Structure 1
Amino acid sequence: MRRNVPIYLVALSVVAVMGYPSKGAAMDLDATPRMTVVYNDLTSARHFSSNAQNYTTLLLEDEKGILYVGARGAIFSLNSTNIADGSHHIIDWKVSPERRAECLKKGKNNKTECYNHVRLLQRLNATHLYACGTFAFHPLCTYIDTNKFTLPTHFEEGKEKCPYDPAHGYTGLIVDGSLYTATRYEFRSLPDIRRNRQQRILKTEESPLHWLNDADFVASVLVRESMGSYLGDDDKIYYFFTERAGEESASIFDKTQVPRVARVARVCKNDIGGKKILQRKWTSFMKARLACYIPYYEILKDVYSLNNGDWRSTVFYAAFSLSAQWRSMEVSAICRYNISEVRTAFQGTYMEYQDSSRKWSQYNGEVPAPRPGACINNRARKAGYNTSQDLPNSVLDFIKLHPLMYEEVKPVDGAPLLVKKNVIYTQVAVDRVRALDGKVYDMLFLGTGNGRIHKAVVLGSKVHIIEDIQVSRVPQPVETLIISKKQRSLYIGTRSGVLQLPLSNCRRYISCFDCILARDPYCGWDGEKCRELAETPERSRMIQDVLRGNMGCLNNSSQATPVQKNRTVLRGDDVLLPCEQTSNLARAMWLVNGTEVLTEDGQGHFRMGVDGLLLTGTQLEFSGEYQCYAEENGLQALVASYVLSVLPEQLVPQLSPTMPQQSWYSPSSANGDGKFIYIAVITVLGGLCFVLSVVLLYVSCLQKRKGKYSLGVPQASSVELQTVSSNCMGKGSPEEEEEDDLGIFPDGCLQIIPGEATTLSSPSKEAPPAPPPPPPPLPAEFTNGIPTLPNMLRKMNGNSYMLLRQNEEPCTSPLYNSFTEELSKILEKRKHTQLVEKLDESSV
């Protein structure tokens, strides 16, 4: 890592020199989703899976209500309204055993590679789909009749249309009957952009310059630039990929670290290649660099295009991650590009490869006419160039040697929309929504490498992440994202299946404040609850504030008032007052009797955390009303309210023959605040305990013999009663020494310890003792705890422990059995009495 530090410094210097706003973007590294939604809370989600794996190729036909899914060894036709309704159809397209054996002979992996991974699934015409699969390193393509939806018997060779390796980057489009694909074909190391089927087959040039230098393709987009063009321009296909950098500025990096850059390339739809030069090769191939955040360290992951029906409004949203050299952290970035900026880069200066320095630099020489790399337009036709085969040799030679443009394509506003650390964005999908204010907002759905979706809204030059949704129980990359406007759903393809999620779930926002603070363009507050705008025809009374996120809720009537809870604790004990914040952006603010709680400046008894407010070592003056507010974006909402009562410390009487009986409550501790009833109850219970102690003492004194015996009816209990009779000052018989080994006290004491007892038929030394019924209940005021002392009772978190010790006098009595039976009867009457009547749910 230290060896790479100079490289990082150089990269950041390049950022500063080239004008990238690294400082501003770095401020967004900790962009936090407002709400986190776990997998178990996806109540509206629908899931589809089968015996197949790798559901990575999706084709949505929204008007027909069908979602086609290409998986490993299968193609599915699902109902896009509800993919889990069981009405799906399936085509099994598995590899034959012979083909798999042949794949294994090539040394391929039988767990991943020797299968048929469906990589292409496109609509060919009104009746058929066109599908291609890797077919165990022997690609095949076929035509599927959508009415029959069965596997045909005829297949085409797919070597020119589909990759051999399922791990290679791949993109494919069918445009006007022609297939445009980009990937690594066959076993060659060089990638390629090709056109197949109806029109003449074209490829990229295989020159030493490498038009594509170890390219990894992620997406391709058709832009209908011929529509409404006064120049008579041609439609274009744009390809997005990452490749090795060869520019002059890349030479400043360590030779052991190969920089990679993101690119955008384009070809003309009606290109038919050259006549003598560049035969069956593209004459319109050009490429330029996509700049986003940190030059030469950006790996392009996915691209999504969006427009308003006019190609001039086309924007590209691209997801990037930093390359592997940045091992210290994972960082992703989202950038937005206008089609106008892309066209400007392709109309700018060319670059030229210098053989002496083996790098690309700016070309300053003469450019032939018509412009190399441009599509055939009205001006070219007027000059007599009707097709690419009519272009002069000078133009074709220039194109062959100058495919790279000098100008880079910078993002809108020159900065990323979002930079996020500790996440890798793998997919991006965008929906355009018109909000109540009449403005149009772009909604981003960002898939991550660990099975999550970040739902975000673009607000000018920034992004607000509304939700972080866990869409996979087991972490796995999000492979594909498709948005359905008709079904208002998001379809997510992963290795294990397909998930259908609603674009919005406004019911999660239970109050006006929650609905407004979410800043979700899909949702609005109607006065009673948060609703989807698409499901509400009457919008005049609805409230929404996407731009600011804090206007509209003018009073607290729209906020549900929480139920006030009572808490009681003894002085010196600790208590936790829970306050759960549903928003990750909210700050908890506590008021005690109307005054804000501060955790600094000597307030050592208060600890404010994500779970609530912890009071340690409570004092009498801590009693009062505690209110927890959620403070977010200038708004405050009451979340929890408590009334805390701190009681004085109370002592339990010590059972000793030489000490007088102590009362549990002294008159002075009542503080004259109307607690006479509590004192009376405590006194009565204390008297009962005293009587029971006297009876036990008397029984112990009347024993005739040594040994142990059990009292009461045997039952399963958490309390075990054992009595050991012996000489008070020492051991007697060898039987007692054996009892000592079993853990029984040898000093003649009565012990109540936690445990479970088994049924005894008769008193014996070998059988375990039977438990008595529970002792009398403690008053409710003591359920928060009493200081731990050897002669006191202590309750903590609902578990109780009592230890009573009594010096045994060496006396015997012939009434041993009668007193045993009498005591058993007394305890039997109280066996159903609970030790603690009422537990305090928040006490520590």
Structure 2
Amino acid sequence: MRGAPSSALQLLLLLLSRACAAGADPLRTPLDPDVTPRITVLSSGLQGCRRFRSSALNYSTLLLEADGERLYVGARGAAFALNASDIADRSARTIVWEASPEQKRQCMLKGKDNKTECFNHIRFLQRFNSTHLYMCGTHAFKPLCAHIEEKSFVMSSQPEEGKDKCPYGPRTGYTALIIDQEMYSASRYEFRSYPDIRRNSPAPTLKTDDGPTRWLNDANFVGSTLVRQRSGAGDDDKIYFFFTERSPERATGSGHSRVPRVARVCKGDRGGHLTLQKRWTSFLKARLTCSLPEYDFQFNVLRSVHVVHADALLYGIFGLEWKNVKASAVCRFSLTDLHEAFDGPYMENQNSGWKEYTGKIPDPRPGTCITDALRARGINVSTSLPDDVLYFVRRHPLMSQEVQPSDRRPLLFRRSTHYTHLAAHTTQGLDGHTYRVLYLGTDEGWLHKAVEVGGHLLIIEELQLFDEPQPVASLVISAKQMCVYVGSASGVLQLPLSSCSRYASCYDCIFARDPHCAWNGERCVEVAAQADRSALIQDIQNGSKGCENTQNDVAQRSRSVRVGDDVLLQCELSSNLATPFWTLDCSELQGYDLTSGFRTGTDGLLIIEARRDQSGLYTCYSVENDVKVPVVTYNVTVRPAPPPAPAVPSDDFLPAPTELPNSMRPFPSPPAPLLPHSEMLSPRNMQAMYLSLITFLGGLCVVLTVVLIYVGFCLQAGRRGKYSIRAAAAAYPKRRSRSRKQQRSCSRAGPEVKTISSHCNGNGAVQDGGFLQIVPGEGHTPPAPPLPPTPPRPSAECGLSATLPSVLRRMNGNSYMLLRQADSESASPVGNSFSEELNKILEKRKHVLLLPKPDESSV
């Protein structure tokens, strides 16, 4: 994946360029593939929404009957039969199919998640015949399948083995079809097996070949479909499988490790006689391409497909393999282009690289179905094909020609959106054209409704389906009920294909460009519900014509402000594609710079420090599809500021007060306390205080850092060497006879004795020979009796000796003794010599087991 960074850079440049273009021109042109939904509807504003919930979870499998009366749902541990006209109806039938406790225990022993994987997830639910359905579930990593009697909706037989029909896990890519009571499936069936396309029943069962040229490389399947053969050449029906696999081609130029594919097999394939026995003889695969040609960027992961058989069209959702980059594209393909790709040249693996095959092609053409022309030559079934044809099929499963989308570009591109599933509905507009409306579900629980116009998809609306974000797991459309059904982790939703009553005006109805909606002169109505359509107004191609002679309700409001005040004139636009346009007294409002006194935004127009000349009639227009529609008018009056308050007369003009005798004069009231005021609170002084505080804190940090370094250095110095009390006792007499210089050199060189501090005598002279001796002991040894207290000295002790105890201490289970030399007479506190005192202490501590090599960490 060497080219992945360059492709990521291309996508980043693409997103930035689109963002810049959007900022420069809010009115997106139809040629811009990044489409913005016209309106946004939250979950509280959904119309006609019905929901079905139960105690089960993960409603990921939906089956709508052809008559549109019944909707079958497969969930985790249960299956349901719902009324398609109202899924919230309480007449729903239920089949509870949970995995047994023993099977769940076995699943957990395999290392699987007991919260998500060790359950029976229904992965397959389709009609088997006119009276029965067929259902398969993972059954806690031991797949099972069962038949369901349709009328009573109960299992008609005991579950059967399903490991060749259903995947083990709930998230494994999977697709399957039942065609004429034959089941075709594609998935990774076992733990360590390769992906496989199989026909499971009836015999003979067929599968893809895994050597010497592997036909599938870590494939992840997303869909399959049956295409009936319509030609008169007696050709066989074909089954198409859609998936994404690891690319075996070298130096494709895209830099992607995965590519989208379509594979084809013939329905009547029965395998080879000797070569490719029980293997497909018609398997071929080709690459699906969905890219932005102007940026030379390709979408390499296929997420969902939908086939419109009536129009022989295929719609696919494509994404990126990078999980941290969200982007989706919708491409449309023609089934005719798929046929042409499988009729084109083959690829061949040469020297671990794939190149187009230029040699001779055997006859009949490898990978083709049995036709009338072959039957005339005596080849009635695939087992009659020559060995050279089958050998060529085994070596050349990949086609050279790529399947390009219509118009060689996506219909829709959305950044920051991850589409998961799609479904399409075909309808006819009032202009006689056939339009296809796509419903796209996202990984965050939104549903986008889009219409295809002129080779591009226009998103009519985006609907929030759930209050809590959750992916859309499945989508099914009912043309009879005019509803779309959405499966998710929490339940099933039923929504009408359109909500025309949401559009309140003629222009709003026309701007939507919804093929299901039209204006009847009074309101926006459903086209399918109108018997007489002659007076309906609709403009899907342009979204701008038809409402010129209609009256539009404009809200009228008044504002009265004073000079110098600010006022906001609100203008709410219902469309995300509309932009506001303001006029003052029927003239365009010019300029929104800093000196104009106006600001415009999504909320409306802001008048800053209103002036007298800004009075007048303000009108807000909504501009969409080059049409200006008035929304609201404001009659703004800017009144002059009130006159200043009259001045209080001075004392010179006040009449003189009447003199009162001293006895009748009231006591003078104390002066009112003045609010404290200091120059220290001025901004300049506050700034100086902040700088001083920051400087002080910085200096404090430096001082603490130096102290920590010094303490760490001292601790490291204290850990050097090992200590022995016997060596100290033996070395003490020799030490007394040495000079100070020799003592210092010995204290630095000898590991047994470590000098910690000296003592100051009364005259301030430093005494020699002061040392600290540490004696390791056992954690269980009882503490020795404390030494006699040291008599007071004429001067205070210096250094660390003032803080170290002179009694026995216990730390971390070891005993330590601190011995301190007294005065120059080398006498102990009780008058004995140091040697005698030391011998006494040693006699008392004979029961202590001294370690030959004490642990340095205990010192």
Same fold (TM over 0.5): yes
Residue 10 of structure 1 and its aligned partner are, at CA, apart by 8.4
Q: Structure 1 counterpart of 2:321, which letter?
A: S
Which of 580, 584, 591 aligns to 2:572? It is 580
Q: Distance in 2 between matches of 1:604 and 1:492?
A: 51
Give the structure 1 partner of residue 534 of structure 2. Answer: 540
Give the structure 2 partner of residue 496 of structure 1. Answer: 490
Q: Does structure 1 conserve the Cα–Cα contact (< 8 Å) formed by 2:68 and 2:480?
A: no
Q: Does structure 1 conserve the Cα–Cα contact (< 8 Å) formed by 2:303 and 2:317?
A: yes
Q: Does structure 2 conserve the Cα–Cα contact (< 8 Å) formed by 1:191 and 1:215?
A: yes
Q: Distance in 2 between matches of 1:322 and 1:360?
A: 23
The yes-or-no answer on 1:728 pairing with 2:710 is no
Q: Distance in 1 between matches of 2:335 and 2:31?
A: 28
Residue 656 of structure 1 and its aligned partner are, at CA, apart by 7.1
The yes-or-no answer on 1:165 pairing with 2:169 is yes
Q: Distance in 2 between matches of 1:430 and 1:726?
A: 89
Q: Distance in 1 between matches of 2:669 and 2:171?
A: 81
Give the structure 2 partner of residue 694 of structure 1. Answer: none
Residue 726 of structure 1 and its aligned partner are, at CA, apart by 6.9
1:58-207 pair list within 5 angstroms: 58-63=62-67, 65-152=69-156, 154-207=158-211
Residue 317 of structure 1 and its aligned partner are, at CA, apart by 0.4
The yes-or-no answer on 1:330 pairing with 2:326 is yes
Give the structure 1 partner of residue 386 of structure 2. Answer: 392
Q: Deviations over 1:412-457 (max 9, x none)?
A: 1211111111111111111111110111011111111111111111
Q: Distance in 2 between matches of 1:285 and 1:184?
A: 17
Q: Structure 2 counterpart of 1:645, which letter?
A: T
Give the structure 1 partner of residue 408 of structure 2. Answer: 414
Give the structure 2 partner of residue 368 of structure 1. Answer: 362
Residue 554 of structure 1 and its aligned partner are, at CA, apart by 1.9
Q: Structure 1 counterpart of 2:247, which letter?
A: A
Q: Does structure 1 conserve the Cα–Cα contact (< 8 Å) formed by 2:543 and 2:625?
A: yes
Q: Deviations over 1:44-82 (max 9, x none)?
A: 111111111111100001415110000011101111101
Which of 541, 551, 559 aligns to 2:545? It is 551
RMSD: 2.8
Give the structure 2 partner of residue 6 of structure 1. Answer: 6
Q: Distance in 2 between matches of 1:457 and 1:471?
A: 20
The yes-or-no answer on 1:36 pairing with 2:31 is no
Give the structure 1 partner of residue 634 of structure 2. Answer: 642
- TM-score, with normalisation over the residues of structure 1? 0.73
Cα distance, 1:370–1:153 mapped onto 2, change above 3 Å: closer
Residue 560 of structure 1 and its aligned partner are, at CA, apart by 2.0
Q: Distance in 1 between matches of 2:140 and 2:93?
A: 24
Q: Distance in 2 between matches of 1:527 and 1:142?
A: 55
Give the structure 1 partner of residue 376 of structure 2. Answer: 382
1:315-714 pair list within 5 angstroms: 315-324=313-322, 327=324, 329-354=325-350, 356=351, 358-557=352-551, 559-562=552-555, 564-600=556-592, 604-650=596-642, 653=645
Which of 227, 232, 253 aligns to 1:230? It is 232
Residue 137 of structure 1 and its aligned partner are, at CA, apart by 0.3
Q: Does structure 2 conserve the Cα–Cα contact (< 8 Å) formed by 1:259 and 1:296?
A: no
Q: Deviations over 1:227-281 (max 9, x none)?
A: 3x2211000110000011122442x566xxx521100001000101011111111
Q: Does structure 2 conserve the Cα–Cα contact (< 8 Å) formed by 1:274 and 1:396?
A: yes
Cα distance, 1:617–1:269 mapped onto 2, change above 3 Å: same
Q: Structure 2 counterpart of 1:606, which letter?
A: F
Q: Distance in 1 between matches of 2:573 and 2:672?
A: 61
Give the structure 2 partner of residue 269 of structure 1. Answer: 267
Q: Deviations over 1:630-683 (max 9, x none)?
A: 11112221111111111222267589796999xxxxxxxxxxxxxxxxxxxxxx
SS at match of 1:51: coil
Q: Does structure 1 conserve the Cα–Cα contact (< 8 Å) formed by 2:33 and 2:456?
A: no
SS at match of 1:194: strand
Q: Does structure 1 conserve the Cα–Cα contact (< 8 Å) formed by 2:592 and 2:599?
A: no
Q: Deviations over 1:26-61 (max 9, x none)?
A: 963531111111111003111111111111100001
Residue 96 of structure 1 and its aligned partner are, at CA, apart by 1.1
Q: Does structure 2 conserve the Cα–Cα contact (< 8 Å) formed by 1:372 and 1:396?
A: yes
Cα distance, 1:703–1:516 mapped onto 2, change above 3 Å: farther
Q: Structure 1 counterpart of 2:337, which letter?
A: E
Q: Structure 2 counterpart of 1:522, which letter?
A: H
The yes-or-no answer on 1:289 pairing with 2:311 is no
SS at match of 1:617: coil
Q: Distance in 2 between matches of 1:396 and 1:660?
A: 123
Q: Does structure 2 conserve the Cα–Cα contact (< 8 Å) formed by 1:261 and 1:296?
A: no
Cα distance, 1:451–1:652 mapped onto 2, change above 3 Å: farther
Cα distance, 1:300–1:730 mapped onto 2, change above 3 Å: closer
1:825-840 pair list within 5 angstroms: none
Q: Distance in 2 between matches of 1:27 and 1:306?
A: 25
Cα distance, 1:393–1:414 mapped onto 2, change above 3 Å: same
Residue 151 of structure 1 and its aligned partner are, at CA, apart by 3.9
Residue 3 of structure 1 and its aligned partner are, at CA, apart by 9.4
SS at match of 2:580: strand
Of the structure 1 ranges 262-271 and 466-475, higher mean CA displacement relative to structure 2 is found in 466-475
State the number of aligned residues: 648
SS at match of 2:270: coil
Cα distance, 1:561–1:478 mapped onto 2, change above 3 Å: same
Q: Distance in 2 between matches of 1:533 and 1:46?
A: 22
Residue 596 of structure 1 and its aligned partner are, at CA, apart by 1.2
Residue 534 of structure 1 and its aligned partner are, at CA, apart by 0.5
Unaligned stretches of 5+ in structure 1?
A: 14-23, 662-701, 706-724, 732-844
Q: Does structure 1 conserve the Cα–Cα contact (< 8 Å) formed by 2:544 and 2:627?
A: yes
Q: Structure 1 counterpart of 2:39, which letter?
A: M
Q: Structure 1 counterpart of 2:586, which letter?
A: G
Q: Does structure 2 conserve the Cα–Cα contact (< 8 Å) formed by 1:427 and 1:447?
A: yes
- TM-score, with normalisation over the residues of structure 2? 0.72
- Percent identity, please: 48
Q: Does structure 2 conserve the Cα–Cα contact (< 8 Å) formed by 1:48 and 1:84?
A: yes
Q: Structure 2 counterpart of 1:332, which letter?
A: S
Q: Does structure 1 conserve the Cα–Cα contact (< 8 Å) formed by 2:290 and 2:298?
A: no
Q: Does structure 1 conserve the Cα–Cα contact (< 8 Å) formed by 2:621 and 2:628?
A: yes
Q: Which structure: larger Rg? A: 2
Give the structure 2 partner of residue 676 of structure 1. Answer: none
Q: Distance in 1 between matches of 2:141 and 2:652?
A: 94
Q: Does structure 2 conserve the Cα–Cα contact (< 8 Å) formed by 1:481 and 1:492?
A: yes
Cα distance, 1:105–1:260 mapped onto 2, change above 3 Å: same
Q: Structure 1 counterpart of 2:554, which letter?
A: T
Q: Deviations over 1:83-115 (max 9, x none)?
A: 112221111111111111111111100111000
Q: Deviations over 1:589-636 (max 9, x none)?
A: 111111111344665311111111111111111111111111111222
SS at match of 1:535: coil
Residue 588 of structure 1 and its aligned partner are, at CA, apart by 0.6
Q: Distance in 1 between matches of 2:3 and 2:610?
A: 54
Q: Structure 2 counterpart of 1:261, which letter?
A: V
